[in-house]
Amino acid sequence: MSKLPLSACEAAQQLAQRTLRAEDLVRDCLERIDAREPEVQAWTHVARDAALVRAKALDQGAHQGLLHGLPIGVKDLIATADMSTSYGSPIYAGHQPANDASCVALARAAGAVVLGKTVTTEFATFQPNQTRNPHNLAHTPGGSSSGSAAAVADGMVPLALGTQTAGSLTRPASYCGVVAFKPSFGGINRAGAKPLSDTLDTVGTLARNVPDAALFAAALSGRSSWLVRPMAEHLSRPLRVGICHTYEWGQALPETHAALQQAAAGLSAAHGIVVQDVHLPVSYQQLVQAQTYIQLAEQAQCLSFERLQHFASLSPRLQSILQAGVDVTIEQYDQAQALVALCRAQLADVFQDVDVLLAPSAPGAAPLGLDNTGDPVFCRIWTVLQTPTVNIPAGLAPNGMPVGLQVVGQVGADGLTLASAHALHQHLSVF
């Protein structure tokens, strides 16, 4: 019987009790990859033999940690010492890092089995690579953590690593109908992930439910408080949820309108949840533009070598993005950072009467076509504010494609944010 229907948490418990073998779990994943990868194309490399050797060793040895025997996918923006890391670019075809990224090393130390590398867009920006949305192969899976979201959504692997600079975890998770956890900035060490932005880059986790994403993140961060526990251990009163349309609401499509409206109505009728509308400060109207200036400028700096030495090998789309970053003036950059500092200082007021916010993850369901990865407009403000966010599947568009909503918490309140997201997902889940 296939073990893939097991959640990662269930599998971890059975692996610890030795009622499930890591080898069997890995073989189930490989069987699914064999069946579906020719269509979905989520992987740049599958470490079939190494994964089986690792799984057999774990089955024969002592229990190693929270992730003992669990297969994971690693976004190809993140260094691995035993397989190539190309950052989604031909410039680095066959590039072999000398060491694992911090998150990969920590995952291995906690017992994870690295199944392979998942597709990223070109340097985690907007130029797509080959991955398709497993719900409909004619639609984008989103980006830039395209392969990680698609592989998890299609049952190829229970857990995967991704990164976010604007919306690269949240958006593909929303499009593919899975959970993505973006921790508070710096919550998971990013050493060994290709840098794009010193003040925005965040490593996060993708899974099929919130406890699984939290388990993975807890193992990487060393924070047991991130493990999902009953809400009563976090709050002695009802959970207060703020419905937050954001100033970008005019860009939301009908399916996102419907998902947020239905979520608000459903949660209002739920026991133990109090729902109210939250309106953001006026200063937040300019946050998307501020985040865009910061990201553009810092990307142009972080990718200076590629921009200056290999410009002709970059896609025209990335060439224009990097040129736009060069064109951001120091005055625009400093003003953007000053606005962000003001808005971060106002977060306490935003959360004064609520524990978490529920906001759109993307304008709508995954767009038709594979030539773009969608718009991160609903993710930019939370990334620049450095808050924890959790995408949860919350609805279906008329064409049957997933629609997600994101649960947003206060900076540093990752445990409460995850517990709240789990509670809300149980009420709203369509998968």
Catalytic option among 145, 168, 197, 361: 168
The answer to whether 361 is a known catalytic residue is no
What whole-number distance in Å separates Cα of residue 235 and Cα of residue 128? 42
Q: In what order do the strands lie in the sheet with 202-207?
A: 43-46, 113-118, 71-75, 159-164, 202-207, 179-182, 389-396, 402-408, 356-360, 239-243, 273-277
What whole-number distance in Å separates Cα of residue 212 and Cα of residue 219? 11
The answer to whether 168 is a known catalytic residue is yes
Beta partners for 392? Answer: 405
Catalytic option among 86, 89, 102, 144: 144
Token pair 């961060």: residue: 221
Residues in the chain: 431
CB 170 within 8 A of CB 361: yes
The answer to whether 182 is a known catalytic residue is no
The catalytic site residues sit at 75, 144, 168
